[in-house]
Structure 1
Amino acid sequence: MNQEKIKEFEKIISDDYSNITGIVIQKNSIKLYENYFNEYTSDNAVHVYSVTKSIISALIGIAIDKCDIKSVDQKVLDFFPDYTVHTGERTIQDITIRNLLTMTAPYKYKTEPYEMFFASRNPIQDALDLLGGDDPIGEFNYSAIGGTHILSGVLAKATGRSILDFATENLFSQLEISVPHNVVLRSEEEHFSVMNDKNTRGWAVDPQGINTASWGLFLTPVEMAKIGQLYLNGGVWNGKQIVSAGWISESTREHSQCVQWGNLSYGYLWWLIDRDSYAAMGDGGNVIYVNTKKQLVISIASLFTPEAKDRIEFIKGYIEPIFEN
C-alpha cells in the first residue's frame, strides 16, 4: 500500500467524512486496512440503521432454507391469520414476502408516518393497517420503517422464536458476531441517547418485544465486514454453508428499481450499485459494500448526521483505487 495515498485518504476522512467511526477493507479475504476515528475502537459497536434491513434479508433466506417459510411468494397475511381485512380491501391480500423484500408493496400514505411508528405500541399491527391501498403492487416504494418491520413479524411467526435468538443460532454465533441482548427504548430521549452511545450493543425491540427489521442493530466495522465476506463467499463461512448460495444470488440481483434516487437497482433489501457491486446502506453513512469482481469487502461505520456525504462515491472514488490492486 502506498503510505502517501493512505495519508491522503485519512485526511479526506477527517475533512469530509468526519462522522466515520471505523473502516475495514478486505481483499481476497485478507484484511488490508482497519482504522478507527472519533475515539472509537474495535470494541465499539455503532447503530447501523438500515443496514439492519440487509441482515433481516439474510435471516429470511435462512428461514426459507430451513423450511420455516415456504417461499418469498407466500402471502404476508398467511402469517397473520387473525388480522381483520377491512371490507372492500383486496390489495393487501395479494402482497407477498417478495414485495416487502423488494420494496414493491403499496401503502395507504404518500409520506411514511415515521413518528407514528416510533410512538406506536404495536407497530406491526399499524404497518399492516397501512399496507395496501389503491396503488398497484410492483412499483418501487421504499419503506424506511413500518412496512419492512412486518418482515420481523413474519419471521417471528414462522420460526416461533425471537428474531435475536434465531439470528444468534443461525448467523451471529457462526460468524462470532456479538449481539448480546435486546435494547429496550422507553422514551424518545432514551432512543436518541442510545443511538450514538459507543458502549451500546444489541438489537432494538418494539413494544411487543420484536426486534426491529428496519433499524436498531448495533455492529462493529469488523462484524459488518464479516457479513459482507459471507455474501462474497456465497454464504459459506469456515467451510459451512450459513446462507444458501441461491439466496445470496437472488438477493443481489435486480428485482426493482428506485427511480427517485438515481435509478438505483434493488435486490432483496440490498442496493445494487453496478454489475459487480452491491451494498447494505444505512443512515449517516453506514455501509457494507461488496465488489465481486475485485473481491473487495468494505465496511464503514458512522455516527448519524443529517444528509451524510455519499459513501458509495467515497468508496468508488477514493478507496477502491487505493486497495483494488
Structure 2
Amino acid sequence: MLYSLSKSFTSTALGLALDEGLLRLDDRVVDFFPEYRELATDPGTRAMRVRHLASMSSGHTRDTWDEVFESDPADPVRGFLRLPPDREPGTVFAYNQPATYTLGVILQRLTGTTLAGYLRPRLFEPLGIGAPGWQQDGSGRDLGFVGLFLPTDAIARLGELYLRRGVWRGHRILSEGWVAEATRPQVPTGDENPDWAQGYGFQFWMSRHGYRGDGAFGQFCLVLPEQDAVVAYTGATVEMQAVLDAAWRHLLPAFGTAGSAADDAALAERLGRLALPPVPAGDQRPGNWSLAPATPGDTPLTGVQVRDGELVLCEPGTELRLRLAPGRWTVTDEPVPAAASGGWIDGTHLAVDVLFLEAPHRLSVTADVTAGTFDARWVTAPLLPPSLRLLRS
C-alpha cells in the first residue's frame, strides 16, 4: 500500500502521455472538462495548467480534499474546479490531493483506460512488474494520488528507470527531457523538516541528497544520482524524517567504502534472525464467545467472535478469521492478508495484534469475555476510511 508514492507513478503516466503527444504541460485544466467550464468562473481556476497540477502549485494554500469531496462526492473534479485558488497558479506550493486526482482523471479521459491499464504495457510489463491493484473512485477511475499497491521490488525498478534517465535495460521508456523536468524543483516548498523543504518537481520531492517519491508511514523511492543508487523502502512509521536522516547518516558514507566477505556474512546472519516478536499469551482456552464493542472506536469492527483457537473480526460484508497459536504469528491470505499473534493473558482476557501484510497498519484487539466486550485500536490508523477490505491489493 504505497499511499502517496502512488503519485510518482501517476507522474510517470503523465510523462508517457506527453511523449505520445496526448497533451501538453501548458494546456488549461478547464479545457479537459468542457461540461464544467461554466462552473469554473474564477480567473485563477481558468488559468490553471497541467503543470500546476503536477507540481502541486494550483494556487490553493492547503490540502482541499475534504472540502472538495464533501462539497461534491459524486465528482471531486467538479468540486475542485468550483473552489477558487487562493493565489495565482504557479506561485505557491501546497500538497493538495485534488490536484493529483484531477491530473489522473485527465489522463484517464485521454487514454480511455485506467492509469494502471495505461501503464501496464508502457511501464509495468517492460520493467517486469506484475499487474498492480489500484483503488478506484465510485466512477471506476484509479485514484491517482493514492491507492496503488506494489511490491518493494517494483519501487526499486521505478527508481532505477529514473536513475538511468528513462532507459531500462537498454530500451528507452521515458524521454530524458521528462525525467529531467519531473525531478528538478518546479516550485519552492517551505517545511520545518529539511527533506520536505528542498522543492517539489512533478510529483517527486527534492531531497538533501537526490530526489524521491514518498508515501505516508514510510513508503520511499530514493534516487541518488551522485551515488548511482536507488533505495526502495516500505515501512510502518510516522517518523519519516528520521528514516531519511538514518539513510543520510549511515548509507551515504557506506557507498564510498569497500565491503568484505566477512561484512556480507555478518549482514546475512543479522537479516536471518530478524523477526517481529510475538504478542505474549498463554495456552488456548476452549469455548466460544460473541463480543460487542466496549466503546465507540476508530475501527470498522462491529463485532468480534472468539472460537476454539480462532479470532474472527467482523465488519459489514467481511469476516476476517485468524488462527491463534501462542508464541508465534499465524498468517491468513483471505479475505485480507494478515498475520495474528496473541491469545489469552488470563482466564477472561484476550490480547491479539493483527498485522495487515499489504499495508503499514497494525490493529490491537483486547477482549473481556466475561463482560462480552472488546476494544480495538489502530497502532497507526489508515488515512483512508478504515475498512479492512481496503487494506489489500
Q: TM-score range by the shorter chain?
A: 0.7 to 0.9
| 1:129 CA displacement | 2.5
Q: TM-score w.r.t. structure 1 length?
A: 0.72
Structure 2 residue 182 is matched with structure 1 residue 251: yes
Residue type of the partner of 1:56?
Answer: T
Contact persistence 1:235–1:242 (CA under 8 A)? yes
Structure 2 residue 42 is matched with structure 1 residue 89: yes
Instruction: Pick one of 106, 110, 120 that aligns with 2:59.
Output: 106
Counterpart of 2:232 in structure 1 is 299
| Alpha carbons of structure 1 residues 140 and 177: separation in structure 2 relative to 1, 3 Å | farther
User: C-alpha offsets along residues 234-271 of structure 1, whole Å, 9 cap, x if unaligned?
Assistant: 11112211111110011111111111344321111111
Structure 2 residue 149 is matched with structure 1 residue 218: yes
Residue type of the partner of 1:100?
Answer: L
Structure 2 residue 97 is matched with structure 1 residue 145: yes
| Alpha carbons of structure 1 residues 144 and 92: separation in structure 2 relative to 1, 3 Å | closer
Equivalent residue of 1:259, what SS?
A: coil
Equivalent residue of 2:230, what SS?
A: strand
Residue type of the partner of 1:271?
Answer: W
User: C-alpha offsets along residues 60-87 of structure 1, whole Å, 9 cap, x if unaligned?
Assistant: 0100101111x21111112111114347
User: Which one is further off, 141-150 or 235-244?
Assistant: 141-150
User: Which one is further off, 138-147 or 214-223?
Assistant: 138-147
Structure number with the higher helix fraction is 1
Contact persistence 2:11–2:202 (CA under 8 A)? yes
Instruction: Pick one of 134, 151, 163 that aligns with 2:115.
Output: 163
Contact persistence 2:55–2:187 (CA under 8 A)? yes
Counterpart of 2:297 in structure 1 is none
Structure 2 residue 31 is matched with structure 1 residue 78: yes
User: Which one is further off, 81-90 or 239-248?
Assistant: 81-90
Q: TM-score w.r.t. structure 2 length?
A: 0.60
| 1:160 CA displacement | 2.0
Structure 2 residue 269 is matched with structure 1 residue 316: no
Equivalent residue of 1:289, what SS?
A: strand
Counterpart of 2:12 in structure 1 is 58
Residue type of the partner of 1:50?
Answer: S
Of the two structures, which has the highest relative contact order with CA contacts closer than 8 Å and spacing of 6 or more? 1
Return the alpha-carbon distance in structure 1 between the equivalents of residues 162 and 256 of structure 2: 18
Residue type of the partner of 2:87?
Answer: D
Contact persistence 1:257–1:266 (CA under 8 A)? yes
Return the alpha-carbon distance in structure 1 between the equivalents of residues 256 and 2 of structure 2: 25
Equivalent residue of 1:297, what SS?
A: strand
CA RMSD of aligned residues (A): 2.2
5+ long unaligned stretches in structure 1: 1-46, 181-201
Residue type of the partner of 2:204?
Answer: W
User: C-alpha offsets along residues 212-236 of structure 1, whole Å, 9 cap, x if unaligned?
Assistant: 1111111111110000000011111
Return the alpha-carbon distance in structure 2 between the equivalents of residues 159 and 171 of structure 1: 15
| 1:273 CA displacement | 1.1
How does 1:196-207 map onto structure 2 within 5 Å?
202-207=133-138
Contact persistence 1:254–1:267 (CA under 8 A)? yes
| 1:143 CA displacement | 3.2
| 1:111 CA displacement | 5.1
Counterpart of 2:367 in structure 1 is none
| 1:310 CA displacement | 3.0
Equivalent residue of 2:87, what SS?
A: coil
User: C-alpha offsets along residues 123-172 of structure 1, whole Å, 9 cap, x if unaligned?
Assistant: 23222323x33422223332342221001111012222221110111111
Return the alpha-carbon distance in structure 2 between the equivalents of residues 217 and 93 of structure 1: 30
Contact persistence 2:17–2:107 (CA under 8 A)? yes
Contact persistence 1:50–1:283 (CA under 8 A)? yes
| Alpha carbons of structure 1 residues 301 and 68: separation in structure 2 relative to 1, 3 Å | same
Taking only the aligned residue pairs, the percentage that are identical comes to 28
Residue type of the partner of 1:284?
Answer: F
Counterpart of 1:127 in structure 2 is 80
Contact persistence 2:2–2:149 (CA under 8 A)? yes
Counterpart of 1:233 in structure 2 is 164
Contact persistence 1:65–1:244 (CA under 8 A)? yes
Contact persistence 1:112–1:143 (CA under 8 A)? no
| Alpha carbons of structure 1 residues 324 and 279: separation in structure 2 relative to 1, 3 Å | farther
